[in-house]
Amino acid sequence: MEGVLVSGTARTVATGDCARCLEPLTLDLEVGFQELFTYPAADGDDGADDDSAISEAAGDVHLLDGDLLDLEPVLRDAVVLALPLAPLCREDCPGLCAECGARLADAGPGHGHGDGTDPRWAALRVLAAPDPQDQQEDPDAGSGRGSDRQEG
């Protein structure tokens, strides 16, 4: 009585890039949808309630245009909601190397770059390394063992 209820299934192919390795990929999608297309209110019809006027203003209501239905917004919404947030070329895609940008699936398991430390942190390595002169003078100085000094 209120309009036409449309139910259907759409099949489409989406193309994009893998979120990890940036290789092109295609996804076969099948989405279902159901939407109510309402009849437009007749001129002078006071039977329209406030809720339908609010939803129509918000764009939630789809109106019939004569005998035609505009399925584009309904299909677009259904397909966009079915798309994965981060599409992957395969479930175990290793992605790209953080150092050189090489695709890790092509580079193989032996791919590496030195000791793996970031060169921007190399100056801190000097602070963390023990000073060899301190160890030769008093090997027990930092441990609190074997100290003959008395405080007083």
Q: What average pLDDT does range 106-114 have in this prediction?
A: 78
Contacts of 61 (CB under 8 A, 6+ apart): 38, 52, 55
Spell out the domain ranges in the chain. 3-82, 104-137
Share of the chain above pLDDT 90, in %: 34
Residue 86 in contact with residue 19, Cβ under 8 Å? yes
Q: What average pLDDT does range 81-105 have in this prediction?
A: 90
Cα-based angle 73, 30, 14 (whole degrees, multiple of 5)? 75
Q: What span, in angstroms and rounded, lies between the C-alpha atoms of 95 and 82?
A: 23
Question: Is this model's pTM higher than 0.85 or not?
Answer: no
Q: Catalogue the long-range contacts made by 92-100 (C-beta closer than 8 Å, 24 or more residues apart).
A: 93/18, 93/20, 93/21, 94/20, 94/21, 95/20, 95/21, 96/20, 96/21, 96/22
* Bridge partners of residue 6, in order along the sequence: 35
Q: What span, in angstroms and rounded, lies between the C-alpha atoms of 61 and 54?
A: 9
Question: Above 80 in pLDDT, residue 77?
Answer: yes
